[in-house]
Amino acid sequence: MYHLFKSIYLHATSKEEYSILLLGLDNAGKTTLLEQIKAAYSSSNPNLRTVPTVGQNVTTVSLPPPNPPIYLKIWDVGGQHSLRGLWQSYYTSCHAIVFVIDSSDVGNATLAELSSTARANAAAGTDNPEIDNGRLEECRLVLESVLQNEDAAGVPILVLANKQDREDCVEVVRIKEGFVRKVFEGEKGESVRDSRVLPCSALTGTGVKEAVEWLCSRVQWNKEGRPPVMR
C-alpha cells in the first residue's frame, strides 16, 4: 500500500523535463540567450557581461501557465572551433537543438549570392575582397555537421537569427530563404526534420519567449521519439 501511495504521489508531483542544447559559432550569443531565458522565467536581472564559454553553462526553467507544466533544462556549450568536438556528447540526451546565428556576421551581399560566391572561392582557393562573406561559410559547415550527426537525427531544430537589434544585421527572411532552407534541403541537410527559423535579440530579450514557446511545443510533440525525464 505504501508503494502504491508513493507512486501515485510521485506521479502527481513530478514533471517532465526536456533538455535543450544551444549550439552555434563562438560569439553568436548563446550565453547571452541563456541569461535572458533564465531571467525571463525567474524574474531576475540577466547577467549580460558574458565571456567566451570554455565548457558549459546549464540552467533549468519552469514555464508559467498557460504553458504546459514542464521543465526545460538548457545547456549552453562553447562554440569555439576547438570546443565543437564536445558537442556530440550532448546529442543523445537532448530533446531539441537551438542553432544560434550572429545575423550581423553573415556577409554584406544577398545570402544567395554569398553562398555561391563562398563556395566558388572555397573551390578555387581564392577570396574575393569585394565581398565580405562574414562567417557564413563556417556557419554552413557547422550547421551541416549538426544535421548529419546520427545521434541528433530527428531532433527538432530552432535556428535563431540573433542580434536583430544591430543596424548591420541581415534580416531573418533572408537568413531563412537564402541560407537555412538551402542547408536543410541540400544534400547534407535533412529535410524531414521539425525546424523553424525565428528572429531574436539575446541582448534586448526580443523574441526570446517566442523561441522558448516554440521549443516547449515541439519537444512535447516529439515525446514519443525522445521521451522526457521525470523530475
Ligand X SMILES: Nc1nc2c(ncn2[C@@H]2O[C@H](COP(=O)(O)OP(=O)(O)OP(=O)(O)O)[C@@H](O)[C@H]2O)c(=O)[nH]1
DSSP string, 110-155: -HHHHHHHHHHHHHHT---TTS--TTHHHHHHHHHHHHH-GGGTT-
Task: Give the separation between CA 183 and CA 148, rounded to whole angstroms.
Answer: 11
CB of 51 to ligand X, least distance (A): 7
Nearest to ligand X of 70, 134 (CB atom):
134
x/- binding map, residues 166-185, to ligand X, per CB under 6 A? x-------------------
Q: Flag whether 153 is marked binding.
A: no
x/- binding map, residues 132-151, to ligand X, per CB under 6 A? --------------------
Among 138, 165, 177, 210, binds ligand X (CB under 6 A): 165
Task: Give the separation between CA 173 and CA 159, rounded to whole angstroms.
Answer: 12
Task: Give the separation between CA 11 and CA 112, rounded to whole angstroms.
Answer: 51
Sign of CA dihedral 182, 183, 186, 192: negative
Site for Mg ion in 7-36 (CB under 5 A): 30-31
Task: Give the separation between CA 124 and CA 110, rounded to whole angstroms.
Answer: 21
Q: Flag whether 29 is marked binding.
A: yes
- Which residues participate in the annotated binding site for Mg(2+)? 31, 53
- Chain residues that interact with ligand X, rule: CB under 6 A: 24, 26-32, 48, 50, 52-53, 78-80, 162-163, 165-166, 201-203
